[in-house]
Amino acid sequence: MKTFKRNTRALGRQQGSVSILVAVSLIALLGIAGLAIDSGLGYMVKARLDSAVDGALVAAGQAVTRGSTQDEQITNATTAANAFFAANYPQGFLGSTATLSAPSVTINKGTVTIDLAAQASVPLTLMQIQGFKLLNVATTGQAIRRDLDMSFVVDVTGSMSDTKTQAAVRSGSTAFLNNFNTSTDRVSLMHFAAGTVVDVPFKSDQSRGFDRATMTNKISNYSFGGNTASVDAIWNAKYQLDHVITQPSSLRVIVFFSDGAPNSFAASFAAANTTCAAGKYTIMTGDTPPSATGKDTNNWNGNPGAFDSMTAQNQQSSCYDKYADNVKSLPATYDVHAASDASATLPITPASPVAGALTRPVNGQMPTVGTVNNGKPSPAQVSAMTTKFTNVNNAARNLMEMMAAKARAEGIFVFALGYGPSLLTRTGAGSGELGQDILKCIANVADGPSRCYDAKQPVGVYCYAATTDDIKPCYAQLASAILRIAK
| 107-129 confidence digits (pLDDT tens) | 876 678 899 999 988 876 644 55
Element (H, E) at 138: strand 134-145
Among the listed residues 414, 462, 445, the one whose alpha carbon sits nearest the alpha carbon of residue 237: 414
3-state SS assignment for residue 319? strand
pLDDT at 69: 82
Cis peptide bond upstream of 307, omega within 30: yes
CATH number of 20-145: 3.30.1300
Which of 97, 54, 107, 50 is closest to 76 using CA atoms?
Answer: 107
| Res 284: pLDDT | 93
More confident residue, 229 or 205: 229
pLDDT at 13: 54
- Averaged pLDDT for residues 377-383: 90
Q: What is the identity of the amino acid at 243?
A: H
pTM of the model: 0.78
pLDDT at 454: 94
Residue 464 reports pLDDT greater than 70? yes
**HSE of 181 in the Cβ direction (CA atoms, 13 Å)?**
32
- Contact status, residue 150 vs residue 257, Cβ threshold 8 Å: no
Beta-strand runs (E) in 237-308 = 251-258, 264-269, 279-284, 305-308
CB 460 within 8 A of CB 414: yes
> H/E element holding 140?
strand 134-145
Instruction: Quote the pLDDT of residue 7.
Output: 57
Dist. CA 119–CA 136, nearest whole Å: 7
Domain ranges of the chain: 20-145, 148-265+304-485
Instruction: Annotate 14-73 with DSSP letters as a single string.
Output: HHHHHHHHHHHHHHHHHHHHHHHHHHHHHHHHHHHHHHHHHHHHHHHHHHTT-SSSHHHH
**Per-residue pLDDT tens digits for 77-114:** 899 999 999 998 888 887 778 889 988 988 876 678 89
CA 31 to chain centre: 56
Rounded to an integer, the average pLDDT of 231-257 is 92
Going by their DSSP bridges, the two strands 316-321 and 305-308 should be labelled as: antiparallel
Say if CB 186 and CB 245 are below 8 A apart: yes
Residue 4 is predicted with a pLDDT of: 53
Phi, psi angle pair for 259, to nearest 5°? -110, 5
**pLDDT score of 474 more than 80:** yes
Count, residues in the chain: 487
Pick the range with the lowest mean pLDDT from 173-177, 183-187, 236-240, 359-363.
Answer: 183-187
Cα 161 to Cα 157: distance, rounded to the nearest angstrom: 7
- What are the phi and psi torsion angles at 34 (to 5°)? -65, -40
Backbone dihedral angles phi then psi of residue 456, each to the nearest 5 degrees:
-80, -15
Measuring CA to CA, which residue among 184, 183, 164, 181 is closest to residue 172? Answer: 164
With H, G, I as helix, E, B as strand and everything else as coil, classify residue 324.
coil
Q: Tally the C-alpha atoms within 13 A of residue 279's C-alpha that lie toward its C-beta.
A: 14
Distance CA 474, CA 480 (A): 10
* Radius of gyration, alpha carbons of the chain: 34
Most trustworthy range by pLDDT among 55-69, 219-233, 347-361, 375-389? 219-233
Confidence tier at 253 by pLDDT (50, 70, 90):
very high
User: Of the segments 13-22, 296-305, 388-397, 422-431, which one has the largest average pLDDT value?
Assistant: 388-397
The share of the chain scoring above pLDDT 70, in percent, equals 86
* Alpha carbon distance 361, 2 (integer Å): 123
Cβ(151)–Cβ(126) below 8 Å: no
Q: List Cβ<8 Å contacts ≥24 apart for 475-482.
A: 475/172, 475/173, 475/175, 475/176, 475/417, 476/175, 476/176, 476/179, 478/176, 478/255, 478/415, 478/417, 479/176, 479/179, 479/180, 481/415, 482/148, 482/150, 482/179, 482/251, 482/253, 482/255, 482/413, 482/415
Please state, rounded to an integer, the average pLDDT across all residues of the chain.
86
Question: Of 214, 241, 231, which Cα lies nearest the Cα of 152?
Answer: 241
CA atoms within 13 A on the CB side of 441: 23
What is the domain class of 148-265+304-485 according to CATH? Answer: alpha beta
The pLDDT value recorded for residue 300 is 41
C-alpha 339/C-alpha 354 separation (Å) is: 16
111, containing H or E segment: strand 111-123
Contact 228, 193 (CB under 8 A): yes
Report the pLDDT value the prediction gives residue 461, as an integer from 0 to 100.
97
